[in-house]
Amino acid sequence: MTQAIDVERDDEGYLFDPENWTTGLAEAFAREEHIELIDEHWIVLRFVRDYYADHLITPDIRHAAAHLAQATGIDAKAAKRRIFELFPYGYVKQTCKIAGMKRPRAWSTG
């Protein structure tokens, strides 16, 4: 079932309040980005959400890559490459948006 996107977002499409996020919104945001979510996407998205809940910041890509590497049994460099395959227009643009994060003010790709 498709969920309507009727939550408050900024001009770039990021949620103003990450607490408003749902998995249905993630699927809708992914469709906007022309991404069909698979298990590896959810590994990264759930990590981003959990990290934010624990630290109140969005994790740098190196942390997300380390988590994906551990979860899938690949090395960290391969995991970082895989993140860019899963989210081809970038970690910030797509991963953070689909995970319902606010857009980070400054970012390092790690």
Q: What are phi and psi of 40, to 5 degrees?
A: -65, -35
Rounded average pLDDT over 12-41: 95
97 contacts 58 by C-beta, under 8 angstroms? no
Q: What is the CATH number of domain 18-98?
A: 1.10.10.370
pTM of the model: 0.87
The predicted-structure confidence for 27-86, as pLDDT tens digits, reads as follows 999 999 999 999 999 999 999 999 999 998 889 999 999 999 999 999 999 999 999 999
Task: Using alpha carbons, select from 49, 44, 46 the residue that is nearest to residue 86.
Answer: 44
Q: What are phi and psi of 15, to 5 degrees?
A: -65, 140
Helices (H), the chain: 23-32, 39-55, 61-72, 76-86, 97-98
**What was the pLDDT predicted at 87?**
97
State how far Cα 90 lies from the chain centre: 10
